Structure formats: C-alpha cells, structure tokens
Structure 1
C-alpha cells in the first residue's frame, strides 16, 4: 500500500513539473491566434509612428496575424511604456520603444510608473544617428577649428537643443565635454523651432538627427562637421566621425526596439525576435529606414538588455555630472 501511495505521489509531482512547460509550449504553438497591439508612445504621423506601421505590416505578413498600431503619446514615452508594463504577459501587447524610454527617462523623471525589469527585451530594430552641424557662415571649416573658435569665445557659442534633459541636449553636452569647450546650451521646446533657428543663423551649432539634417545639408542651409556614430554613415559618407578625428568619447546615438511585458513566454519572445530580425535584415527595411534618416540594426534579446543597461549607466553618469534634476 505504501509503495502504491509513493508511486501516485511521484507521478503527481512529475505531472506538476511538466505542466508549466507544456502550457508554455502550447501557448507558443497557438500564438498568434488574434490581433497583436504594437504600442507607439508618440503621436501619429511622426517617424516613430511610421516605423511602427511599417513593422506592423511586415509582422502581419510574417506571423499571419493582424498587428494594430496604438499611439499612446505623452510624458516622453512614459504613458505608452507604463501601459505595456501593465498588459497581459501573453505576447499580444508590445512596445516600440525609443532608447530614451529606458536610458535617460529614469534619470529625468522620478515618478515613472515602469522599470526596465517590467519588460522582456525582444529585439533592436534600428538606430537614430546624429550629425554635429554649424550655421553656414560660422568661420570654421572643421571640428578642430570649431574647438579653437569656441575656446577663444567661451560661453558665447550658442548650441541649440530640443529641451533641457532631451537626448539632443545630452549629445550637445557630450560634444562640449569631448572637445573641452564651453557651449551656451539654448533650450527650445522641440526639434522644429531649434532647427528653424539653426537654419536662420540665430544659433551657432546643433546636434541634428539625420532625419532633418540630410535634406538641410543637401540644400546648404547649414554644414556638418562630424557625425556622432562609431562609424561613417551611408547617408553622409563624406562626413567624418568624431572618433576618427581623435575624439573617442564623442560617440552617441539613440535607437528603436521592441519590448514585451516581463513574463511573456520565452518561445513567444524567441519567435518575435526571429521575425523582427528577418524583417530588419531585408533590403526593403534597410532602404525604408535610411529614407527616414535611420539605420536598420537588430539584436538578440540579451544584447538589447545589455545595451539598455549600459546606456542607462553612461547617460546617468553624464546627467549626474551636469547636475540635471528630475522633473
């Protein structure tokens, strides 16, 4: 009798240990069986929205399920991110994140309703490169001449930003520190007015995303001295990197990536990652991203997690050094 009871208990324990794995596998096999929501934490019409809709259409083709883009804008992506953090852990709600969501926001907003630990990283889908530009009549021809000019005019060289604590502001400070110069950071309420005053010659320099920089450079509205990427960019092949000019600390960009709520079954994350990497590697996607001033780039979930953690640390150090206060 005792032997029979022992066998029954052992069988029950074995079944219990297998059940979660079987359930996860069953979930992954059935996924996706209904529409997927891709949350874009920006308003409709912008670059992030356009990328989200392109990815949604390609995912529909690859996964065989409708992907609905939901725009949940506000609080520098925090509203959309918090929504996804609270969503069901089933692979049907995803976030198209900006790099700032996890790298700079936590240092600049002490009331965030999410943490990196609330998400499963899925895949990087692109990078946003930047160029350091100067007004067309600034009397400098290259980076070294700009550094000399700024040193001879301390605090008088005006550098435009998209707002205090923005990525463009931090990149502008990165340039100033890397060159060892003092720049007067002029904060605007967004990219459009900063670019307008750059074109008008009311400010001397700016760190511009290639989305707006490339067409303005092509028409001679201002000039590019260097790019902040680690390597030269296909969209600006004749513009050197700061690194190759001897300024290795001036490397910076942001990125787009897809995240799911923490606890999403690993097989679902793996399938999503495989699908996104296939899309990102396609020539159509490469050309689409360059059209919008970005570069196609993918990753494994582990690589995306490490990138998020590393940039969270590095931007946090700069924010602390600048004594920028959370809002």
Structure 2
C-alpha cells in the first residue's frame, strides 16, 4: 500500500511538471487588469462611433477625440462601426473589457428609438453614461413655392386636404420620420410620409419641389434656406436658433410637445472602475464646456451640450418613453 501511495504521488508530481509550462504561458498571455490609478497610461482609448465616416456623428466624434486626448494626455482614436441603426457599435462597446479603453459616442436613437424598432443585444443598463456632448437642432422646411407661409397656414391647408401633403423622411423609423409623425399627430393633420434612403436624396427632392415638406437637421437645412432653395417655417428646438432668429419654435406657436433634437453622449461599459469613470467624466465635462469645442460645434451647425452622467441617463429614459409610445401607437417598424 505504501509503494502504491508513493507511485501515485510521483505521477501527480510528473503531471504538474508537464503542465507547468502551459500554465506559465497562459499567465503570460493574460495581462493583469490595469491599475485604475495609472489609467490611461500609454494605451490608446477607442471612441466607437456607430455611424459611417463623414457625417455629423463622425465630425462630432473626431473633434471630441482630439480634445479628450489632450485633456487626458492620452491618444483617443475614432473607430467607425456603422450598422443596424447604431446597434452594431453599441453592442461592441457593451461587450468590451470594462477597463476604460473603449467608449461609445451614441446618438439619442441608440437608447431611445432603436430598441423600440428592432431587437437589439444591449440595453441602457449595460452602459455607464459619462455625459452629453452635443445636440443637432431640426427645422421644419417647405418647398419654396408651397402656399403656406406659416405653421398655422400649413395646418389649415393640411386639414382641408388630408393626406395631400407629401413629407420627406430619411427612412422608415428614422428620427426624421418620427418627428414628421409627431408634427402630424400634435397638429391633428394627416401627412403622406415619403421615405428616402438617407438625408441627401430627401434634400434633393425638396430642392426640386418633388415633395412638400421635410424635417431637416439644421446643419443641412441652413445653407439651402439661406440660398432661397426652400423655406423654414418653424424649428423643433426648445428655443429659437441663433442661425435662424426669425423662425419661431413649434412650442411658442402653441404646440409644446413638438420638440425634438438629435443628441449625442458618451458612455463606457458598466462595471468600468469608478476612478476611471470619474476621470473620464471630469475630462469630458471640461472639453464640452470649452470655448474651442463650442466653436467647433457651431461651425458645423451643432450645439455643444454639457451634461452630467445622471442627466444623460434621465434624458435617455424620458426620450425612450416618449418615442416608444409614438412608435407603438403608430405601429412603426424598420423596413
């Protein structure tokens, strides 16, 4: 019996020695979690932008990456990850390591409309919001020879001829589509929604007079309005826009619920160490409140929107309830 025990012990020792190199190599291949006190160090931070390069989101993301990198004394790189109404990029960040090196620049739709329109593999609770960054105002525009000069005249015309006014959208289920439906719902009118594959073709048909109206981002609308290619009769923001000071808001005209903007915010995966989140949040607030960032946003037709993590979370929750109710009531689905 004693000899058998000695043999078993020898076999266990030999098995351990054989496995030791493999265990050692695995230990070397799996780096220890970064010390939050030393974050970010020299490792680059990736800001995932869930849209293609070149658009408004990309412009905001690259300006933010530049200034955030300067504030953190680190390298912040933009990774464009478009697809499935921002859900591809959002899912990537939700599943990323919780170490502060992968962040998401989300549009409002990421948390407020997309989850109501299609199945997604993430939820707001998967993210630790850091704060809001910018907002993109919208204008309600009409073709240049449209008979209505004011919103009141537009409503009267639409009610006199239900369904006769063609309203362009950026696509079924897009925020522009939802804003068009919101206008119709709140003003008690019936519009024929004409869905385009993006903003550019919708704008071209507005210029050509093919469609009657459009809810358009101010960044796109402003040059055409100023050139007289079509007219803006209202904006959908809480207050008048400095670039269109003579154009009233729907709110001041008596439709207080016709308010909508695209807003952007930054988040990290939930579970990221609290010290890292605190450093990121402080740097983000510093950047967004800076004169340089504000001027950069103004040049591109956007508005800097400083906001805390808590404010971003509450905005996402309230906007989700608002748009979710409209989407459900009108039974809107992505094509």
Q: Identify whether the pair has TM-score above 0.5, normalized to the shorter chain.
A: yes
Contact 1:131 1:226 in 2 (8 A): yes
- Is 1:324 the counterpart of 2:329 in the alignment? no
Contact 1:107 1:326 in 2 (8 A): no
Who is 1:95 aligned against? 104
Which consecutive residues of structure 1, in runs of 5 or more, have no partner in the other structure?
1-22
- Is 1:36 the counterpart of 2:32 in the alignment? no
Who is 2:251 aligned against? 243
Who is 1:19 aligned against? none
CA distance in structure 1 between the partners assigned to 2:90 and 2:35 by the alignment? 24
Superposed CA RMSD: 1.5
CA distance in structure 1 between the partners assigned to 2:331 and 2:101 by the alignment? 40
Of 311, 315, 318, 1:310 maps to: 318
Who is 2:82 aligned against? 73
Contact 1:85 1:114 in 2 (8 A): yes
CA distance in structure 2 between the partners assigned to 1:109 and 1:255 by the alignment? 20
Deviation at 1:287, TM superposition (A): 1.6
- Is 1:191 the counterpart of 2:199 in the alignment? yes
**Map 1:167-178 → 2, pairs under 5 A:** 167-178=175-186
Deviation at 1:28, TM superposition (A): 3.2
Deviation at 1:58, TM superposition (A): 0.5
CA distance in structure 2 between the partners assigned to 1:115 and 1:207 by the alignment? 28
Who is 1:292 aligned against? 300
- Is 1:266 the counterpart of 2:274 in the alignment? yes
Who is 2:62 aligned against? 53
Which consecutive residues of structure 2, in runs of 5 or more, have no partner in the other structure?
1-31
Contact 2:172 2:334 in 1 (8 A): no
Q: Helix, strand or coil for the counterpart of 2:201?
A: helix
Deviation at 1:280, TM superposition (A): 1.1
**Map 1:150-189 → 2, pairs under 5 A:** 150-189=158-197
CA distance in structure 2 between the partners assigned to 1:293 and 1:201 by the alignment? 24
Who is 1:108 aligned against? 117
Of 280, 283, 286, 2:288 maps to: 280
CA distance in structure 1 between the partners assigned to 2:313 and 2:97 by the alignment? 21
CA distance in structure 1 between the partners assigned to 2:260 and 2:77 by the alignment? 32
Q: Helix, strand or coil for the counterpart of 2:249?
A: coil
Of 40, 46, 71, 1:62 maps to: 71
**Of 100-109 and 289-298, the range deviating more from structure 2:** 289-298
Deviation at 1:29, TM superposition (A): 2.0
- Is 1:82 the counterpart of 2:82 in the alignment? no
Contact 1:36 1:65 in 2 (8 A): yes
**Of 280-289 and 205-214, the range deviating more from structure 2:** 280-289
CA distance in structure 1 between the partners assigned to 2:253 and 2:334 by the alignment? 34
Q: Helix, strand or coil for the counterpart of 1:68?
A: strand
Who is 1:256 aligned against? 264
TM-score by structure 2 length? 0.88
Deviation at 1:27, TM superposition (A): 3.4
- Bigger Cα Rg: 2
Deviation at 1:326, TM superposition (A): 5.7
Contact 1:229 1:253 in 2 (8 A): yes
- Is 1:131 the counterpart of 2:139 in the alignment? yes
Contact 2:48 2:104 in 1 (8 A): yes
